[in-house]
Amino acid sequence: SQQGEEDPQALSIQEGENATMNCSYKTSINNLQWYRQNSGRGLVHLILIRSNEREKHSGRLRVTLDTSKKSSSLLITASRAADTASYFCAPGPGGGGFKTIFGAGTRLFVKA
């Protein structure tokens, strides 16, 4: 099994600012995914980065992966009030494993 630990636990920013969230993990991974969860809803997949990739972009999202440091970051640029949510990283286990263990997440609050 593999757990991601998100940092910070909570983040409050003004609309238009950038938000950066970090994730650390302990063992080897196949890939790493980021999910968002709005209050009272299920998780929504945002982006997947493979272990042989260092950076990936999707719209206003930028994800980096440093396998030597076993860490990843999620950057949301030009944040909007609608980005207010909890964000979770999910390290995809290597070796054909399937158990995904989520951390407590980062709670992002974007003030309008």
Query: What is the binding site for another protein (CB under 8 A)?
Result: 1-2, 29-31, 33, 35, 41-45, 48, 88, 90, 92-94, 96-105
Least Å from the CB of residue 15 to another protein: 24
Residue 59 or 112: the one with the smaller Cβ distance to another protein is 59
| Cα(16)–Cα(31) distance, integer angstroms | 30
Contact present, 74 and 10 (Cβ < 8 Å): no
| Cα(83)–Cα(39) distance, integer angstroms | 11
Least Å from the CB of residue 33 to another protein: 6
Least Å from the CB of residue 70 to another protein: 16
Structural tokens at position 93: 């286990």
